[in-house]
Structure formats: C-alpha cells, structure tokens
Amino acid sequence: DFAGGTAVHINAGAAGLALAIVLGKRIGWRKDPMRPHSLPLVMLGSGLLWFGWFGFNAGSSLGANGIAGLAFMNTQVATAGAVLGWLLVEKIRNGHATSLGAASGAVAGLVAITPACAFVAPWAAVVIGLISGILCSLAVGIKYKFGFDDSLDVVGVHGISGIIGMLGIGLLATATVNATGMEGLLISGSSELLTHQIIAIVAVAAFSFTATWIIATLIQRTIGFRS
C-alpha cells in the first residue's frame, strides 16, 4: 500500500458505513432530489483534487526519483481511465453522460490508484482505473438497496475503489517497474501477494467499522449527534 489505500480510503469507507447506520437517514432521503448545490464548484473541486493528488501519490516516494515519476504517470492515466469507465456506465444506463459522473469517476480513479501507483505498470493503472470507474458507478446504488444514507458516497467510491486498488496490487504488481516489491498473481502466477492484500483489506475494514460503530453508538446514546 504505497500511499494510503487502506489507512485512508478503506478505513474511510468502513467508518462511513458505520456512521451512516448509526446516524440514520436525512429527512427527505429518497424523496427529495438532494442534488449538488453547484456543479461548477463540483468540477472545480474535483480538478483541484486531481491536481493535488499528484503530490499525494508521487510525494509518497519521499524523493524526486523514478518511483515518483511512475506514481505521477499512473495517477494521471488511472484517473482518466476511471472517468471513462464511469461515463460509459452512465451512457449505457441513462442514455447520457454527466459532468457529475465525470467528477465522481475522477475521484474513484484517484482513490483506486493510490495504493498501487508505485507497483504497477501504466497499462495496469489504466485497467485499475477503468474497473474502478465502472464498479463504483454501479456501487453507488447499493445504498438505496440496503437503505443507508451515504450522502457523499464514501462507501461506494472511497471504500470500493480502495479495495479495487489493493486487489489490483495483488493481481498486477510487477518488479519490472519497482524491484523492491513483490509480483502479483497475473504477473508471476503466485497468490502470495494477493493473499496479503486480502488480509489487509479485511483487517482494516473490520477494525475501522467496529471501532467507529462502538464510538458512534456511545455518542448517540449519551449526548447524541443531532439536536
């Protein structure tokens, strides 16, 4: 996990799910549209995130070196792939693509490549991004099926993309681009790294969900979250 797929994004997705369950639904959820206040601000914010993420990922190399360059390149191409994936789902499902979908796809791609950016080749980064865009676009509907109000789709975007990125390492990591790392299942035929990644995903998600649910429940039953 090069730049925080578990510590940041899977952690956030699991914690967000626990809080959504404890807090319950907003008034008017599933009845009122609850659309973004300003799409121009959404696009501006996603652009700033995309720009800043280069420092987040490439900077995790702690030096101006080849790994930083690889992480920079992978961050760009994976995010572009995720935007394409999300927009393809929208086009097929709804008949048209949206700017909100492009912004959401960009965030999904940025999250997915975060753990894998220093361990996979650029072509693999595109694959990880494309898959994250497609699956996250489909996953945001989960909240309606299971009835939890995740207002910013932390579970469907950050949680799912974080898992995709971590699994992507276990499948596509290659020593060709980073000799310090292990190789993934589809590169070396060994499932050892993939097993490590799955254990990390389950451990972080279980700990984060359980701890957050306990803390949130204690707060809810004492001082409460809402007046």
Does pLDDT of 165 surpass 90?
A: yes
Interatomic CA distance for residues 90 and 104, integer angstroms: 12
pLDDT computed for residue 85 by the predictor: 98
Of 166 and 141, the structure prediction assigns the larger pLDDT to 166
Task: Say if residue 227's pLDDT is above 80.
Answer: no
Q: What are the Cα distances from residue 148, in Å, to 22, 151, 185, 212?
A: 9, 9, 35, 16
Please say whether the beta carbons of 119 and 181 come within 8 A.
yes
Nearest to 81 by CA among 52, 110, 60: 110
- The continuous run of DSSP H or E covering 210 comes out as helix 192-221
- Give pLDDT, residue 14: 97
Q: For the segment 99-156, what is each residue's pLDDT rounded down to a tens digit?
A: 999 999 999 999 999 999 999 999 999 999 999 999 999 999 888 889 899 989 999 9
The pLDDT, as a whole number, for residue 37 is 84
Confidence label for 191 from pLDDT (cuts 50, 70 and 90): very high
Q: What is the pLDDT of residue 88?
A: 97
User: Do residues 205 and 13 touch, judged by C-beta distance below 8 A?
Assistant: yes
User: What pLDDT is stored for residue 206 in this prediction?
Assistant: 98
pLDDT at 30: 84
**Is residue 160 pLDDT above 90, yes or no?**
yes
Q: Please check whether residue 22 is in contact with residue 220, taking contact to mean a CB–CB distance below 8 angstroms.
A: yes
Cα 21 → chain centroid: 20
- Residues 146 and 15 sit within 8 Å (Cβ to Cβ): no
Per-residue pLDDT at 33: 81
Q: What is the mean pLDDT of residues 62-70?
A: 96
Mean pLDDT, residues 194-222 taken together: 97
- Alpha helix stretches (DSSP H) within 59-190: 66-94, 99-113, 122-139, 142-146, 160-172, 185-188
> How much is the pLDDT for 29?
86
* Pairwise CA distance, residues 205 & 224, whole Å: 25
Of 66, 60, 73, 74, the closest CA to residue 168 belongs to 74
Average pLDDT, the chain: 95
Q: With a cut of 80, say whether residue 19 has pLDDT above it.
A: yes
AA identity, residue 180: T
DSSP 1-68: --S-IIIIIIHHHHHHHHHHHHH-PPTTTTTS----S-HHHHHHHHHHHHHHHHHHHHGGGSSSSHHH
Q: What is the mean pLDDT of residues 59-75?
A: 96
According to the model, what pLDDT value does residue 36 have?
A: 83
Segment 16-26 shows an average pLDDT of: 94
pLDDT value at residue 34? 83
